[in-house]
Structure 1
């Protein structure tokens, strides 16, 4: 019968132990186990082990390793069930062991997707310039059930959305001062939509920004864009054709025809 001849603590992992066996003809390193396995099986020197027990110990330790991976993965932040399962699969943990690990984590209350979703939305509200539709999509991609995701984003009230969307719109507007107000507004609407804000919020923000149109800034933007276009088109055309090209180009950039005509009269007719 094979006996345990020696148990030593690993140098780099004090919670893991090397098991050495002897069959009467010499000692050999056999396997290593986690401290929990050592305690559960009450392993000690001179304890007799048959092949079935050795196999069971190795299987138990392999399961414990997978569980430790999951716990370590969870130590950085909360995870969804899907994230944990995907992570264990990347670590090549046996599917049978993954199921047991997930059951154990669930029993310990460590795989609550509702709790994860609620915390995730709260974090996004306080730290990210994202609306509820985009946050909901993120939850779905992380494997959260659609009903739980929809319930979690209800924390995103209209007032919270509007405040966040307005701050983002003002920030983005300040980076586009050389564009027409209409073009700025269209781009802002596109940005807010891409960021996941609901249509009613996007419309409300746009309406409020409409009242903040600066006519002087609009004229400065028109002059800057117009002068640039004149330099571009004058190299290839002139007269009526030049005027028409400038009108079309400036209108596409969102300036009103009255303002365009005033600019052209000042630039081309003097």
Structure 2
């Protein structure tokens, strides 16, 4: 049977030890494993001991990797599993690690989901539908997601949607009022706010465009359209201009006013 002839501390990681069997380096183990199995110089190891020691050391290495991964922020169980799988640990080892982490309260998908919702609810950047989708993607069970989302009440959602909407409106003042309203509703939808929250929020969003600014914007758009459709005349020209500008969100009254005024200037 092989005999431990030397044990030395690793230079780069003083919690791990190099084990030499019959004067030849054999493997390294974590300090906890060294103590648990009483690995000392002169100890004889049968093959079964070697397999058991090395298997447990793999578990300890995976465990430390998981702890390091958790040191940056909370993680779901699935995130840790995926991380360890990428490090090529077997599912059997990962299962043991996850069990130990859960027992020590280092992972808890419900608390993770609550913290995740709390973080984005405080920032107001994501609505509940996006949060639900993202948490599901992180492997959190639907029941735990719903329990976590209960903390993000409708009143807070409306406030956040209004805040995001006003910010979007300020950044897109050059859009027509109708187009701005459409884009506002679409943007809030992509942020994860449900239809009833969006409708409630729209009343608190200042998206009404100054008529003078809207007219100036229409004139600029219309000048571009004129160059595009100048090869057409009469009804065909008017129809194309109307369709193009209407798609930009301008009212037919404003569009016809521009076309009529422009035609009058050309006479």
Does structure 2 conserve the Cα–Cα contact (< 8 Å) formed by 1:178 and 1:225?
no
Q: 1:216 to 1:205 in 2, by over 3 A?
A: farther
Does structure 2 conserve the Cα–Cα contact (< 8 Å) formed by 1:37 and 1:60?
yes
Q: 1:92-115, CA deviations, whole angstroms, 9 ceiling, x for partnerless residues?
A: 212221221121111111221100
Alignment partner, residue 165 of structure 1: 161
Structure 1 unaligned spans of 5+:
none
Alignment partner, residue 177 of structure 2: 181
Name the TM-score, length of structure 2 as normaliser.
0.93
Alignment partner, residue 191 of structure 2: 195
Alignment partner, residue 237 of structure 1: 232
1:210 positional shift = 6.7
Alignment partner, residue 139 of structure 1: 135
Q: 1:242 to 1:78 in 2, by over 3 A?
A: same
1:12-51 → structure 2 map (5 Å cutoff): 12-22=12-22, 27-51=23-47
For 1:189 and 1:115, locate their aligned partners in 2 and report how far apart those are by CA, in whole Å: 32
Structure 2 unaligned spans of 5+:
none
For 2:255 and 2:47, locate their aligned partners in 1 and report how far apart those are by CA, in whole Å: 91
For 2:123 and 2:207, locate their aligned partners in 1 and report how far apart those are by CA, in whole Å: 29
Does structure 1 conserve the Cα–Cα contact (< 8 Å) formed by 2:177 and 2:208?
no
Does structure 2 conserve the Cα–Cα contact (< 8 Å) formed by 1:5 and 1:45?
yes
Q: Does 1:152 align with 2:148?
A: yes
For 1:88 and 1:205, locate their aligned partners in 2 and report how far apart those are by CA, in whole Å: 43
Q: 1:16-57, CA deviations, whole angstroms, 9 ceiling, x for partnerless residues?
A: 1001122xxxx1111110111111112222222222222221
1:206-245 → structure 2 map (5 Å cutoff): 206-209=202-205, 212-234=208-230, 236-245=231-240
Q: 1:31 to 1:211 in 2, by over 3 A?
A: closer
Name the TM-score, length of structure 1 as normaliser.
0.92
Q: Does 1:122 align with 2:118?
A: yes
Q: Secondary structure at the match of 1:66?
A: helix
Alignment partner, residue 108 of structure 1: 104
